[in-house]
């Protein structure tokens, strides 16, 4: 009997892996295992998703789990090219029972064939590979962090990111790693920007003379000096850039890089459980600020300083002597729940509104003129307020109405109309990029042959560098397009119906839910709300996430539909 196999693989592009090459060798290993038993008929390959993500949070793995439920799935077993790529930690023990339940075999090269559900040895082997996968990822993180810290502290190397206001990036020569240098990678360093460096120096001296942070922002705005966001719009698209803000001035005053030393480790990635009640959902990564004592400073001067150490320290002392922290007394701040935390925006300036507690009620406010210099006469009220309990009943009623059982058909039609994808165009672009990558590889082979035949080495190196850059750019575009294509695959009517049915059951409890629970529901629905104070109206958009189903029903892992909009 010929067995029909589905192939699953995964590649992460964070460490510059070639998705096509990784897919090919994983698929080759899988074929070597199953070619005498059957043939591959379908493929599921995740690109750019960490191994630490559970299967239900990887697009292609999710699609595979959904296919297992279909009796007409078209394949009898699944083969994996490398277990460390597919399973991390305890993911095998959480995933294989699903294969066993639906009668789909799982083949792994390290086992030499299909996994036997009754074999303790197979369970032990797969558990070891999950642990090895987790250990490998942890070792990579430790090595990368240690290496970057040493490069910043000992070498004073610029490790990427936006240059601070007052500096610009210049070329610092080829990358010291030969492989990266061969790909055209180069180092960069900070040098003084002749237009903005004097502005930074002036900000420090004005503050030491007694001028306040907001007064400095007003002066610079009135004089027409571009703010950091206005100066570099490409790197600051999330900022309006129409005026200097207090936060921009304060950030400059507290940045130790202006003393000429490289600083690394201000922030760190922190992984926290997505749901403490269901650890199988895995972690989500959040950026956390490190204490100033934990920052790593370069031993020597790494770039031209704008202010000296004495000036910088004097500014820090003045900053520390002002505000509530100057008393050095711990101020107990009551934590209040906000249902729309991070979801509500001001329609006048498009900035996120902040939660504030007044008269024992939750409010949201936008104080744009209080944060940005008003010398340019901003057309914005001094404060915009919205009470939470004025919005919650109307919002919950709208959500319950949209996902009510008697409106399922109209909701399905709206979602289906909104999720039309340019699949044909994407396929043509993918084909063109693959042909371009193949052409680059052929050119490199010809260059290698020319070099072996005695051609000028420097001339061939120049040609090869250009082709390598062209190939790397095409591969990056190809990976991005393939990943986007998988994310935007249209849902079937059955999948949409499951989502709507699940949401209908979820939304029935909104009126009785606590603000904390409501906030989580709204986040899972991916709500974005924009408040227009002139018309007293809130525009609401929702794009339900796959994890909504995963939290409330057993049919999770659906692709999210396009937004539904309401007032």
* pLDDT on residue 501: 56
How does pLDDT run across 155-205, given as a tens digit for each residue? 899 988 889 999 999 998 888 888 778 878 889 999 999 999 999 999 999
Rounded CA gap, 104 and 88, in Å?
A: 21
How does pLDDT run across 461-476, given as a tens digit for each residue? 666 767 776 777 777 6
Rounded CA gap, 499 and 415, in Å?
A: 11
Choose among 247, 256, 249, 251: nearest CA to 312: 256
Please give the average per-residue pLDDT across 455-462, as a whole number. Answer: 66
pLDDT at residue 497 above 60?
Answer: no
Please give the average per-residue pLDDT across 400-419, as a whole number. Answer: 60
Please give the average per-residue pLDDT across 101-112, as a whole number. Answer: 93
* pLDDT on residue 514: 73
Least confident of 94-98, 145-149, 154-158, 232-236: 232-236
* pLDDT on residue 422: 44
Please state which CATH number belongs to domain 3-140. Answer: 3.40.50.1390
Using alpha carbons only, what angle is made at residue 28 by residues 106 and 67, rounded to the nearest 5 degrees?
Answer: 35
Domain regions of the chain by residue span: 3-140, 167-262+298-324, 335-420+490-567, 423-486
More confident call, 453 vs 24:
24
Say how far residue 376 (Cα) sits from the centre of its chain: 35
* pLDDT classification of 557: cutoffs 50, 70, 90: very low
Residue 176 per-residue DSSP state: S
Structural fold of domain 167-262+298-324:
Hect, E3 ligase catalytic domain fold (3.90.1750)
* pLDDT on residue 560: 37
Do 240 and 346 meet the contact criterion of CB atoms below 8 Å apart?
no
Choose among 101, 10, 66, 100: nearest CA to 557: 66
């Amino acid at each position: 009997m010929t067995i029909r196999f589905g192939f699953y693989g995964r590649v992460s592009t964070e460490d510059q892996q070639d998705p096509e090459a990784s897919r090919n060798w994983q698929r080759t290993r899988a074929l070597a295992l199953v070619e005498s038993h059957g043939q591959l008929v379908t493929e599921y390959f995740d690109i750019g998703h960490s191994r630490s993500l559970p299967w239900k949070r990887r697009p292609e793995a999710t699609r595979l789990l959904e296919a297992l439920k279909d009796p007409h799935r078209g394949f009898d077993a699944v083969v994996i090219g490398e277990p460390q790529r597919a399973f991390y930690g305890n993911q095998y023990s959480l995933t294989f029972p699903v294969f066993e339940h639906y009668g789909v075999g799982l083949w792994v090269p390290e086992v030499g064939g299909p996994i036997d559900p009754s074999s303790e040895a197979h369970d032990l082997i797969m558990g070891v590979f999950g642990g090895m996968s987790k250990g490998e990822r942890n070792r990579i993180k430790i090595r990368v962090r240690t290496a970057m810290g040493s490069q910043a502290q000992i070498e004073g190397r610029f490790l990427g990111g936006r240059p601070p206001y007052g500096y610009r990036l210049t070329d610092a020569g080829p990358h010291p790693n030969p492989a990266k240098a061969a790909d055209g990678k180069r180092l960069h360093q900070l040098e003084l920007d002749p237009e903005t460096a004097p502005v930074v120096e002036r900000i420090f001296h004005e503050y030491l003379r007694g001028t306040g942070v907001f007064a400095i922002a007003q002066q610079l705005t009135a004089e027409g000096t571009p703010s950091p966001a206005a100066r570099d719009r490409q790197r600051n698209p999330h900022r309006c850039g129409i005026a200097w803000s207090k936060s921009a001035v304060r950030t400059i005053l507290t940045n130790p890089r202006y003393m000429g030393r490289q600083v690394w480790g201000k922030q760190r990635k922190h992984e926290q459980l997505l749901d403490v009640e269901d650890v199988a959902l895995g972690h989500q990564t959040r950026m956390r600020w490190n204490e100033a004592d934990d920052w790593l400073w370069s031993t020597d001067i790494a770039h031209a300083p704008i202010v000296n150490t004495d000036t910088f320290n004097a500014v820090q002392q003045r900053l520390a002597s002002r505000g509530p922290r100057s008393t050095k007394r711990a101020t107990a701040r009551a934590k209040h729940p906000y249902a729309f935390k991070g979801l509500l925006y001001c329609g006048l300036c498009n900035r996120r509104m902040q939660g504030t507690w007044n008269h024992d009620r939750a409010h949201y406010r936008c104080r744009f003129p209080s944060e940005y210099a008003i010398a340019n006469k901003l057309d914005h009220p001094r404060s915009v307020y919205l009470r939470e309990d004025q919005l919650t009943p109307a919002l919950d009623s709208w959500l319950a109405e949209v996902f009510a059982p008697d409106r399922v058909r109209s909701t399905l039609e709206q979602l289906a109309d909104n999720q039309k994808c340019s699949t044909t165009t994407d396929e043509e672009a993918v084909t063109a990029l693959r042909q371009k990558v193949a052409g680059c590889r052929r050119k490199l082979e010809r260059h290698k042959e020319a070099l072996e035949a005695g051609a000028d080495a420097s001339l061939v190196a120049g040609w090869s560098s250009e082709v390598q850059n062209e190939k790397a750019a095409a591969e990056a575009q190809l990976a991005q397009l393939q990943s986007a294509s998988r994310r935007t695959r249209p849902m079937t009517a059955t999948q949409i119906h499951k989502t709507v049915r699940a949401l209908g059951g979820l939304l029935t409890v909104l009126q009785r839910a606590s603000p904390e629970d409501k906030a989580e529901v709204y986040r899972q629905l991916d709500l974005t709300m924009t408040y227009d104070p002139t018309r007293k109206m809130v525009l609401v958009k929702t794009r339900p996430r796959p994890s909504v189903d995963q939290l409330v029903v057993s049919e999770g892992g659906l692709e999210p539909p396009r937004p539904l909009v309401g007032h």
